Amino acid sequence: MQDEIGGDFNFEDFQYFLSHMEREAKPIPQILYSVYSGAPFSNCVSCERHLQESPILYQVQKVFRKKRVIFEYSLCFECQQGLAKEYSQESTEKLQNFFLENYVMTEDMHECHLCQSQEVEKEHTLLALCLGEKLLFSSTICGLCTEKMQGLLSEQTRKTMGDFIQENFPGVPEELAPAPVFKI
Ligand SMILES: [Zn+2]
Ligand SMILES: [Zn+2]
C-alpha cells in the first residue's frame, strides 16, 4: 500500500480515512503490544478504563531506542481529547499541518512516515490508533521528526505535555519528550 495522503489532506478526510480503516482493521501486531505485559494494552494510562471490554478508540505510543522500548503508553480517546484540548490553538494547527503535509502512508514500519528516513534505529516512535483488539492506523516517526514536532509546540503546550507525563509516569527522565497527541 503506497497511497499518498499528504498535500491537500485535511482532518475531515482523516476521519473518513479512519472509518475506512475500521472496515479494513487488522489484529494488533505484536510490535504494538505492551512490553510490560506482553499482551495488547488493556487499560488507559490516565483514566484506567478497560480498552477491550467495551471497545473504545485509543492511541498507543511506544518509543524505541536501539530496539529497546524506553517508554510506552495507551491513552483512550476521551483522555486524548481532553489533553489535546489543553494544547494552544497555534500548536494544534502547526502540528496538524506538519503531519498532514509530510505524512506518506506505507506499511513499512522501518522507515519514518514523515521524512522517509531509513535511519530509525537510534530512536523512533510508533504511534497507533486501535479500536478494541483491532489496529486502525499506525505510523513510525524518527527521532528527528519527533524533535521537529516538539519544536512546533508553544511553551504552554509543552508544559501541558510535560505535566501529563509527570502525572502518569513519575520517574520518567525529563529529557524524554514523546510525540505529542493529536486532536481528531
Ligand atoms: Zn482514558
Ligand atoms: Zn523522520
User: Which tens digit of pLDDT belongs to each residue from 66-108?
Assistant: 889 999 999 999 999 898 888 888 998 999 899 889 988 887 8
Domain ranges of the chain: 11-168
The Cα–Cα gap between 140 and 123 comes to 10
Measured in Å, residue 156 CA sits from the centre of ligand 1 at: 22
What angle (nearest 5°) sits at the alpha carbon of residue 110, between those of residues 106 and 112? 65
Q: Which residue has the cell 506518506?
A: 104
What does the alpha-carbon distance between residue 56 and residue 42 come to, in Å, rounded to a whole number?
11
Q: Give 164 Cα–ligand 1 centroid separation in angstroms.
A: 12
- Kindly give the distance from the C-alpha atom of residue 77 to the centroid of ligand 1, in angstroms, as a whole number: 7
Ligand 2 centroid, distance to 116 Cα (angstroms): 6
Q: How far is the CA of 50 from the centre of ligand 2 (A)?
A: 32
The cell numbers describing 135, all together, are: 489496529
Q: What does the DSSP assignment read for 105-131?
A: --S-TTS-TTT--S--SSEEEEEEEEE
Ligand nearest to the CA of 76: 1
**Helices (H), ranges, 4-153:** 11-23, 77-85, 89-102, 143-152
Instruction: State the ligand closest to the CA atom of 142.
Output: 2
- Ramachandran category for residue 51: left, alpha or beta (phi over 0 → left; psi -120 to 50 → alpha): alpha
| pLDDT given for residue 2 in this prediction | 38
Amino acid of residue 89: Q
Q: First vs last Cα of the chain: how many Å apart?
A: 23
Low-confidence ranges of the chain (pLDDT < 50): 1-8
Ligand with smallest separation from the Cα of 115? 2
Task: Point out the ligand nearest to the CA of residue 147.
Answer: 2
CA of 81, nearest ligand number: 1
pLDDT at 183: 60
Q: Please answer whether residues 141 and 112 qualify as being in contact, where contact means their C-beta atoms are separated by less than 8 angstroms.
A: yes
